[in-house]
C-alpha cells in the first residue's frame, strides 16, 4: 500500500483552516447569525394561498393594519407565504393577522402554522445551547483523555471546535436561518466528527505501538492512509442520506440538513488534518500510548 | 471457524423477530374516529346516547363503523370510513348531542389483537406531524411570592394585635419588617412569630430609637411556594384541557415554572387559549333566611353529584370572592375529622370577620363559578347554519357550612364526610382562587395539511436515503455489502420497534434522526470490512481475515459510538420537544446499529462463509475481486 504523505502538506491545511476560522469569526462578529424565531422571540405565520400569492399586496395590507417590522417572504412555492413579526407583538396577533389576510383577498387561505415565542424563552435557549455545546466538548475531552491520552483529547476537541466554528461561519456568511433544529444538527456534527476523529486516533495509537523505526509524522501518514478508505466511505454514505434529506425533506428541516452536510464534510477534513496536525505539534510519540503493564515488564528486564 | 453457535443465531433471530413484532403496529394506518365523553365526569355514555349519535351520522350520510363504549361507559368511540368527513361528523354530533357532551377528534389504532396482546402499539406522532397546538405557559413566580409575603404580613399583624403587642408591620423589599418602640415588645413579637411561622428566618436590627425585626422568607420556603403555585396551575389546566375535547392531550411541567400543553388536532387556538387562560372564581355568600324577600335571594344547585338536584337559597350580597383566598388545604381537625383550612388575605379577612361577627349560627355558602359556553345554531347570510357560542357563568354551590364563631383571615370548614371530600373541596377552592397568574410564552400551531406533508416528506427522504445507501454498499462491498444492507434493514426495524415500545413520539427531527442513523449505521460495517480487506492484503487466509477484521474493529466501534452517545444524551438533556425526539432516535439508533452491525452482520457473514473452505471473499475492492495476495490499491 502506498502511504500518502498527508503530513507533508499539513501547512497548507493549517493555512486553509486558519483562513476559514478567521473568516468565520470575522463574519460572526460582523454579520452575526440570522437567528431563527426560536432564539429571537416573535411571531411567525405560514399560510398557503390557493393561487400565486401577491407578496406586494400582502405587505401593503400588513402596513395598513399597522404591523411594523413584518417580514413577508415566499416559502418553498409561490403560494406559500411566511410572515415574521418581530418580538413585542402579543401571542394573539398571529391568529388575528391571518384573519386580516383572509379578508384582504378573494383567495382561500389555509393556515399552515403559527409559532409564537416569548422573549424570555429565546434568550434561555441561546444560553442553554451554548452551555450544551461546551458541556459536550468538555465531556468528550474527558472521555478521550481517559480512553486515550490528553494529547489525543486536545486534538479531538480542537477538531470539534474547528468544525463547529466553520459551520457557524457558514451560516453567518450565507445568512441561512439558525433555528433550534440547526443547533441540534450542530450537536450531531460534534457527534459525527468525533466518531471520525476517534477512528483515526485509534489507528494512530495502534500504529504508534506497532510500527517501529518510523517518525511520528510517518506513523500518522500510515494511519491516515489506512483509514482513508473507511473515512471516505462513511462520509459518502452519510452525505448521500443528507442530500436525500435536503432535497426531499421539505423546508422545515432544510437548515438541519444543510448544517449537517457542511458539518460532515468539514468533519471529514478535520479528522484527517486538524486532529492529526494537532497531535504532531504536541509531539505525540510512542511513550504517550504505551500500555502501563508493558512498561513494568520492561523495567523488570533491566534488573541484574 | 467463524461459526456462530446455534444459541447465538437463535438469539439474534429472536431479537429481530421481537423488533418486527413491536414495529408492526406502525404498518396499520389508524382509523379517523370521534370520541364522545360527558362534559361532566359523572355523565355516563350508554347505548341510548350512542344510538342517538348513530342516527345523527346516518341521517347526515356519514359512513361509520366499530362504535363501542369504553372506560366503563365514560366514553364512546365511533370510527369513520372517510377522513375527509371527520370535521363535519364532529359538528353533526356536537349538534345532535348538545352541550352536555364533548365530541373529540381521534385517531383510533387498528392494531390487530395478536399485536395488542403483546403490548405492541404504534408510535405516537408529534404535533409537527399530526397537526395541533403546542403551548408553553409560564407561572408568574414574582406574583406567587408577593402573595405569600402578603399572607405572612397579614398573619403577623393579626397575631400581634391579638397579643396586644404594639408595633408597625410592613412589607419591605422581599421581607416583612416590624418596628417596635421597646425591646420587650420586640422580644415578645419574636416569640409569637417563631410560634406562628417557624419557617421564617428572623433578624434583629437596632436603629436609633426603633427596635426592628425582619422576617425573611428562606429560599426553601420560596421554592415550596413556587412548586405549589405551579402544581396548582397544573391541576387546573388539566381539568380545563378536558373541556376542549382533545384526545390524548399532554399537560406537563417543564423546568421550574413552565407548563407545556400539547393539543393534537386542535386548530382553533383562540378558543383553546380562552379556556386555558380563563379564571374560575369563588363567591362566599350567606345562606338566605327563610323570610328574606325574593329580590334579595337566589337559588343555587349543589355541584357535587352526591347531592344531585339539591338547592339552597343564598343572599345576593357577596362577602368575598376567590381573589381574597390565598390558600385552601385539606387536613384533619383536633378530633381527627377531615377538614379544609382556608387562608384569606388581609382585606378578605377583615370583610369576613365583619360579615360573620353578627351572623354566628347562620350558614355560609361557597359558590364555584365557571365560564361556560352554550352553542346555538344560527343561519348566516348564505343560509348555512353556523354554531354560535354564547358565554355564561355557571354558578354551583360547593358547600354551605354553619358559621360556628366570628371568622378571620384563617378558618376551617369541618363536618366533611371523608378525606376524599375534603381534598376535592380544597382543590375546587384553590382552582377558584386566583392562582399565580400564567402567561403564554410560546405557542406553535401546525395545520393538519402541513403535518401530513411533513410525514410524506420524511418518509420519502428515508426511502431515498436508504435506497442510495443500499445501492452504494452492494456495489462497493458485494456479498458483504448485502450482509450489511440486511443488517441495516434489521437495524431500522429494531429502531422503530424499540421507539414504539418506549412510547416515544415521532417528530420531524426524529425522522431526520432515523435518516441520519441509516447513513451512520453502516459505519461500523465499513470499519469491519476495511479491516478484513487489510487482513487479506496482508496475506491472511479468508477465515482468519474475517475473524480478525471483526475483532480488531470492535474496540474502535465501541469508542466511536460511546462518544457519540455522550453527545446524544446531552442533546436529550437540554433539548425540548422535537429536539428531544431527535436525541432519542439518535441514541436508540446508536445502540441498535451496534447490535445489528456487529452481531447481525457477523451472523450473516458466518452463515455464508463460516465453517467451510473459502478461496476468496466477495468484499469488493475497487472493481477487482479481492482476496489472495494481490495488493489492493487504496
SS3 per residue for B383-407 = CCEEEEEEEEEEEEEEECCECCCCC
Could you say which residues of chain B have pLDDT below 50? 622-634
Window 373-432 of B: residues touching A by CB (8 A cutoff) are: none
Distance from CA of B524 to the nearest CA of A (A): 9
Contacts of A120 in chain B (CB under 8 A): 138, 441
For A194, which of B273, B473, B567 is closest by C-beta distance? B567
Strand partners, A300: none
Contacts of B273 in chain A (CB under 8 A): 91-92
Residues B16 and B47 placed together within one structural domain of the fold = no
SS3 A4: coil
Question: Using one digit for the tens of pLDDT, what is the confidence trace for A241-297?
Answer: 899 889 988 888 888 899 999 999 999 899 888 888 888 888 887 787 776 554 444
Window 493-552 of B: residues touching A by CB (8 A cutoff) are: 508-509, 512, 515-516, 518-520, 522-523, 526-527, 530, 533-534, 537
Which of B194, B222, B250 terminates a domain? The answer is: B222
Residues B415 and B466 placed together within one structural domain of the fold = no
Does B6 contact A at CB distance below 8 Å? no
Cβ count within 10 A of residue B352: 24
Does A163 contact B at CB distance below 8 Å? no
Tell me the pLDDT of chain A averaged across its residues.
Answer: 84
**CATH number reported for the structural domain that contains residue B565 in this entry:** 1.20.1640.10
Q: Which of A170, A272, A155, A280 is nearest to A225 (CA)?
A: A272
Task: Look at residue B244 in the predicted model and tell me its pLDDT.
Answer: 67
Task: Look at residue B42 in the predicted model and tell me its pLDDT.
Answer: 63
| Nearest residue in chain A measured CA to CA from B471 | A237
Cβ count within 10 A of residue B13: 11
Task: Look at residue A1 in the predicted model and tell me its pLDDT.
Answer: 61
**CATH number reported for the structural domain that contains residue B164 in this entry:** 3.30.1360
Question: Using one digit for the tens of pLDDT, what is the confidence trace for A165-216?
Answer: 999 999 999 988 888 888 888 878 888 888 888 888 888 888 988 888 888 8
B320 part of a folded domain:
yes
Taken in order A222, A228, A229, A230, the sign of the CA dihedral is positive
Question: Using one digit for the tens of pLDDT, what is the confidence trace for B499-539?
Answer: 898 888 888 888 878 877 877 788 888 889 888 888 888 88
B265 part of a folded domain:
no
Within 13 Å of residue B377, how many CA atoms lie on the same side as its CB? 10
Residues B153 and B16 placed together within one structural domain of the fold = no
B20 part of a folded domain:
yes
Cell of A139: 465531556
Residues B555 and B480 placed together within one structural domain of the fold = yes
Distance from CA of A280 to the nearest CA of B (A): 21
Residues B435 and B467 placed together within one structural domain of the fold = no
Per-residue pLDDT for A81 more than 80?
yes
Please state, in angstroms and rounded to a whole number, the distance separating the CA atoms of residues B134 and B251.
Answer: 10
Please state, in angstroms and rounded to a whole number, the distance separating the CA atoms of residues A49 and A81.
Answer: 8
Please state, in angstroms and rounded to a whole number, the distance separating the CA atoms of residues B306 and B402.
Answer: 20
Task: Look at residue A258 in the predicted model and tell me its pLDDT.
Answer: 93
**CB spacing of B447 vs A225 below 8 angstroms:** no
Residues B384 and B529 placed together within one structural domain of the fold = no
DSSP string, B214-274: EEEEPHHHHHHHHHHHHHHHHHHHHHHHHHT-BSS-EEEEETTTEEEEEEET---HHHHHH
For B563, which of A95, A140, A225 is closest by C-beta distance? A140
**CATH number reported for the structural domain that contains residue B51 in this entry:** 3.30.70.120
**CB spacing of B570 vs A239 below 8 angstroms:** no
**CB spacing of B566 vs A139 below 8 angstroms:** yes
Please state, in angstroms and rounded to a whole number, the distance separating the CA atoms of residues B343 and B327.
Answer: 5
B621 part of a folded domain:
no
B267 part of a folded domain:
no
Does B461 contact A at CB distance below 8 Å? yes
In chain B, the number of structural domains is 4
Window 255-274 of A: residues touching B by CB (8 A cutoff) are: 256-257, 260
Please state, in angstroms and rounded to a whole number, the distance separating the CA atoms of residues B616 and B543.
Answer: 10
Residues B411 and B454 placed together within one structural domain of the fold = no
**CB spacing of B468 vs A233 below 8 angstroms:** no
Kindly give, in sequence order, each residue whose CB lies less than 8 Å from that of residue B139, ignoring residues fewer than 6 positions away: B226, B229, B230, B233, B257, B258, B259, B435, B436, B437, B438
**CB spacing of A114 vs B443 below 8 angstroms:** yes
Strand partners, B133: B263, B445
Task: Look at residue B18 in the predicted model and tell me its pLDDT.
Answer: 92
**CATH number reported for the structural domain that contains residue B311 in this entry:** 3.30.1360.200
Task: Look at residue A263 in the predicted model and tell me its pLDDT.
Answer: 92
**CB spacing of A198 vs B556 below 8 angstroms:** yes
Read off the pLDDT band of A298 (50, 70, 90). very low
pTM above 0.95, yes or no: no
Number of residues written out for chain B: 634
Residues B496 and B591 placed together within one structural domain of the fold = yes
Location of C-alpha cell 411533513? B454
Output phi, psi for B293, to 5 deg.
Answer: -65, 150
Residues B177 and B159 placed together within one structural domain of the fold = yes
Contacts of A99 in chain B (CB under 8 A): none
- The answer to whether B398 and B366 are in contact (CB under 8 A) is yes
For B445, which of A113, A144, A234 is closest by C-beta distance? A113
Distance from CA of B583 to the nearest CA of A (A): 8
Cβ count within 10 A of residue B382: 6
For A249, which of B269, B457, B574 is closest by C-beta distance? B457
Does A186 contact B at CB distance below 8 Å? no
Strands B505-506 and B124-125: parallel
Task: Look at residue A293 in the predicted model and tell me its pLDDT.
Answer: 54
Residues B482 and B422 placed together within one structural domain of the fold = no
**CB spacing of B273 vs A92 below 8 angstroms:** yes
B92 part of a folded domain:
yes
Question: Using one digit for the tens of pLDDT, what is the confidence trace for A41-57?
Answer: 888 888 888 888 888 88
Which of B385, B417, B444 terminates a domain? The answer is: B444
Range of the domain at B303: 279-444
CB pairs under 8 A between A and B: 218
Q: Which domains does chain A have, with CATH numbers?
A: 6-35+121-295 (1.20.1640.10), 42-117 (3.30.70.3400)
Mean pLDDT of A87-115: 80
Residues B433 and B491 placed together within one structural domain of the fold = no
For B442, which of A121, A247, A256 is closest by C-beta distance? A121
B113 part of a folded domain:
no
Contacts of A129 in chain B (CB under 8 A): 574
B116 part of a folded domain:
no
Residues B380 and B473 placed together within one structural domain of the fold = no
- The answer to whether A153 and A145 are in contact (CB under 8 A) is yes
Contacts of B537 in chain A (CB under 8 A): 1
Does A230 contact B at CB distance below 8 Å? yes
Cell of A176: 441561512
Amino acid at each position: 500500500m502506498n502511504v500518502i504523505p498527508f503530513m507533508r502538506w499539513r501547512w497548507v491545511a493549517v493555512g486553509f483552516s486558519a483562513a476559514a476560522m478567521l473568516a468565520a469569526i470575522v463574519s460572526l462578529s460582523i454579520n452575526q447569525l440570522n437567528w431563527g424565531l426560536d432564539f429571537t422571540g416573535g411571531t411567525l405565520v405560514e399560510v398557503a394561498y390557493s393561487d400565486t400569492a401577491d407578496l406586494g399586496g400582502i405587505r401593503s395590507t400588513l402596513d395598513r393594519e399597522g404591523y411594523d417590522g413584518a417580514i413577508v417572504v415566499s416559502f418553498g412555492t409561490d403560494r406559500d407565504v411566511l410572515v415574521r413579526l418581530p418580538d413585542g407583538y402579543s401571542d394573539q396577533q398571529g391568529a388575528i393577522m391571518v384573519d386580516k389576510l383572509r379578508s384582504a383577498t378573494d383567495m382561500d387561505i389555509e393556515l399552515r402554522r403559527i409559532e409564537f415565542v416569548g422573549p424570555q424563552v429565546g434568550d434561555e435557549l441561546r444560553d442553554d445551547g451554548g452551555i450544551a455545546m461546551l458541556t459536550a466538548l468538555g465531556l468528550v475531552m474527558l472521555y478521550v483523555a481517559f480512553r486515550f491520552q490528553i494529547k489525543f483529547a486536545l486534538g479531538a476537541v480542537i477538531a470539534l471546535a474547528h468544525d463547529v466554528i466553520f459551520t457557524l461561519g457558514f451560516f453567518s456568511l450565507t445568512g441561512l436561518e439558525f433555528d433550534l433544529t440547526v443547533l441540534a444538527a450542530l450537536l450531531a456534527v460534534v457527534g459525527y466528527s468525533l466518531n471520525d476523529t476517534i477512528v483515526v486516533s485509534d489507528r494512530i495509537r495502534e500504529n504508534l505501538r506497532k510500527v517501529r523505526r518510523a517518525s511520528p509524522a510517518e506513523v500518522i501518514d500510515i494511519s491516515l492512509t489506512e483509514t482513508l478508505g473507511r473515512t471516505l466511505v462513511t462520509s459518502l454514505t452519510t452525505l448521500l442520506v443528507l442530500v436525500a434529506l435536503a432535497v426531499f425533506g421539505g423546508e422545515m428541516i432544510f437548515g438541519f440538513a444543510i448544517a449537517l452536510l457542511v458539518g460532515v464534510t468539514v468533519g471529514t477534513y478535520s479528522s484527517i488534518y486538524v486532529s492529526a496536525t494537532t497531535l504532531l505539534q504536541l509531539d505525540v510519540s510512542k511513550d504517550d500510548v504505551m500500555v502501563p503493564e508493558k512498561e513494568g515488564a520492561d523495567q523488570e528486564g533491566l534488573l541484574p | 471457524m467463524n461459526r456462530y453457535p446455534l444459541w447465538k443465531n437463535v438469539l439474534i433471530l429472536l431479537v429481530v423477530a421481537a423488533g418486527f413484532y413491536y414495529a408492526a403496529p406502525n404498518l396499520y394506518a389508524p382509523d379517523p374516529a370521534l370520541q364522545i365523553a360527558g362534559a361532566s365526569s359523572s355523565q355516563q355514555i350508554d347505548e341510548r346516547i350512542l344510538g342517538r349519535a348513530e342516527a345523527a351520522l346516518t341521517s347526515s350520510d356519514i359512513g361509520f363503523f366499530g362504535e363501542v363504549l369504553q372506560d366503563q361507559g365514560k366514553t364512546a368511540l365511533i370510527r369513520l370510513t372517510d377522513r375527509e368527513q371527520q370535521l363535519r361528523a364532529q359538528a353533526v354530533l356536537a349538534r345532535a348531542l348538545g352541550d352536555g357532551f364533548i365530541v373529540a377528534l381521534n385517531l383510533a389504532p387498528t392494531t390487530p389483537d395478536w399485536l395488542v396482546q403483546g403490548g405492541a402499539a404504534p408510535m405516537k406522532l408529534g404535533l409537527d406531524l399530526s397537526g395541533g397546538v403546542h403551548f408553553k405557559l409560564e407561572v408568574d413566580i414574582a406574583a406567587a411570592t408577593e402573595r405569600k409575603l402578603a399572607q405572612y404580613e397579614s398573619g403577623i399583624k393579626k397575631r400581634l394585635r391579638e397579643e396586644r403587642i404594639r408595633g408597625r408591620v410592613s412589607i419591605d423589599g422581599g421581607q416583612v419588617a416590624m418596628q417596635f418602640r421597646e425591646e420587650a415588645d420586640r422580644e415578645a413579637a419574636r416569640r409569637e412569630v417563631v410560634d406562628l411561622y417557624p419557617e421564617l428566618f428572623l433578624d434583629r436590627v437596632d436603629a436609633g430609637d426603633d427596635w426592628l425585626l425582619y422576617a425573611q422568607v428562606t429560599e426553601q420556603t420560596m421554592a415550596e411556594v413556587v412548586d405549589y403555585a405551579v402544581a396548582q396551575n397544573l391541576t387546573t389546566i388539566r381539568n380545563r384541557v378536558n373541556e376542549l375535547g382533545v384526545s390524548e392531550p399532554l399537560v406537563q411541567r417543564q423546568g421550574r415554572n413552565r407548563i407545556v400543553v400539547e393539543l393534537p388536532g386542535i386548530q382553533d387556538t383562540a378558543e383553546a387559549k380562552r379556556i386555558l387562560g380563563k379564571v374560575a372564581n369563588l363567591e362566599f355568600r350567606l345562606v338566605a333566611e327563610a323570610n328574606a324577600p325574593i329580590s334579595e335571594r337566589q337559588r343555587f344547585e349543589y355541584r357535587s353529584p352526591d347531592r344531585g338536584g339539591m338547592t339552597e337559597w343564598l343572599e345576593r350580597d357577596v362577602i368575598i370572592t376567590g381573589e381574597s383566598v390565598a390558600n385552601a388545604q385539606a387536613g384533619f381537625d383536633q378530633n381527627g375529622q377531615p377538614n379544609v383550612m382556608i387562608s384569606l388575605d388581609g382585606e378578605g379577612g377583615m370583610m369576613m370577620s365583619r360579615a360573620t361577627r353578627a351572623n354566628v349560627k347562620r350558614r355560609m355558602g361557597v359558590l364555584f363559578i365557571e365560564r361556560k359556553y352554550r352553542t346555538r345554531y344560527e343561519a348566516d347570510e348564505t343560509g348555512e347554519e353556523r354554531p354560535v357560542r354564547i358565554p355564561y357563568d355557571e354558578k354551583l354551590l360547593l358547600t354551605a357550612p354553619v358559621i360556628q364563631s366570628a371568622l378571620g383571615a384563617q378558618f376551617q370548614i369541618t363536618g366533611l364526610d371523608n378525606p376524599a371530600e375534603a381534598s376535592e373541596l380544597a382543590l375546587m377552592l384553590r382552582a377558584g382562587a386566583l392562582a399565580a397568574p400564567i402567561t403564554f410564552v410560546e405557542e406553535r400551531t401546525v395545520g393538519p395539511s402541513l403535518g401530513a406533508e411533513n410525514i410524506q416528506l420524511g418518509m420519502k427522504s428515508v426511502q431515498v436515503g436508504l435506497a442510495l445507501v443500499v445501492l452504494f454498499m452492494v456495489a462497493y462491498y458485494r456479498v458483504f455489502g448485502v450482509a450489511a444492507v440486511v443488517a441495516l434493514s434489521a437495524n431500522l426495524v429494531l429502531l422503530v420497534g424499540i421507539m414504539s415500545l418506549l412510547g416515544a413520539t415521532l417528530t420531524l427531527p426524529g425522522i431526520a434522526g432515523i435518516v441520519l442513523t441509516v447513513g451512520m449505521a453502516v459505519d461500523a460495517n465499513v470499519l469491519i470490512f476495511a479491516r478484513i480487506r487489510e487482513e487479506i492484503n496482508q496475506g491472511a487466509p479468508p477465515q482468519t481475515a474475517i475473524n480478525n477484521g471483526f475483532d480488531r474493529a470492535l474496540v474502535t466501534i465501541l469508542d466511536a459510538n460511546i462518544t457519540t452517545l455522550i453527545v446524544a444524551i446531552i442533546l436529550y438533556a437540554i433539548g425540548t420537544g422535537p429536539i428531544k425526539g431527535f436525541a432519542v432516535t439518535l441514541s436508540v439508533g446508536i445502540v441498535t446499529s451496534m447490535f445489528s452491525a456487529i452481531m447481525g452482520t457477523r451472523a450473516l457473514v458466518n452463515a455464508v462463509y463460516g465453517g467451510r473452505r473459502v478461496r476468496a471473499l466477495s468484499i469488493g475492492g475497487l472493481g477487482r475481486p479481492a482476496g489472495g495476495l494481490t495488493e489492493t490499491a487504496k
